[in-house]
Amino acid sequence: MSNDKIIKPMGSKEQVLAAVRGAIKDAVPPSVSRTYSRDLGLDRAGLVELFTERVGDYRAEVQVIDRDELGRVIGNVLADRRIHSVVVPDDLDPGWLTTVTSRVVRDSPDLTHRDLDQVDGVITGSAVGIALTGTIVMDAGPTQGRRAITLIPDTHLCIVAADDIVGTVPEAVARLDATRPLTWISGPSATSDIELDRVEGVHGPRNLVVLILT
């Protein structure tokens, strides 16, 4: 028997990876320009106005309300949309639910994904809103709960404090902790991957309602 080492031919994957490694072997990482806009130069009212416009562009319902109206407006939104049950983070302020007639489920580790699928909606707070992109970021902090409760129910009612709205993505990133579980929301869940036909609710709620507290 021959002791010569048997050399197996490279597969397609190995060939591609070998070509890439060869091409970048002596490459120097390019410098990245950091001259992009970091501040829109808007005051608080301007940021709220732009954020409201951009969130609306995503087919989300958005209202700017006084903080004292929050309990009443939440009850009205749930009633108007005939939402019979909602899940809320365990630390959600009970004052937000004073006019809610829907069945309220406080989140707990015992709630399974199947349980959440039987609930119509979810109410949460948020960490940051980005005016330029109309994006809401959640970081599982106070009043936000775990990620699963914002992905499974079909309607997400999200509260954004006007003071938490910034102008640009760099400003938002500077306020966030990258080690926390971050969820970035730009309108209801939607995709147009197949023949550009928009389908909503594929990866999360089909309906997004945003209440901005001033």
What's the pLDDT band for 30 if we cut at 50, 70, 90? confident
Dihedral of CA atoms 44, 49, 50, 51 in degrees, nearest 10, equals 80
Give the pairing type, strands 190-191 and 199-200.
antiparallel
Cβ proximity of 175 and 11 under 8 Å: no
Confidence check: pLDDT of 67 > 80: yes
pLDDT for the residue numbered 167:
96
> What average pLDDT does range 56-79 have in this prediction?
94
Confidence check: pLDDT of 54 > 80: yes
Confidence check: pLDDT of 1 > 60: no
pLDDT for the residue numbered 93:
92
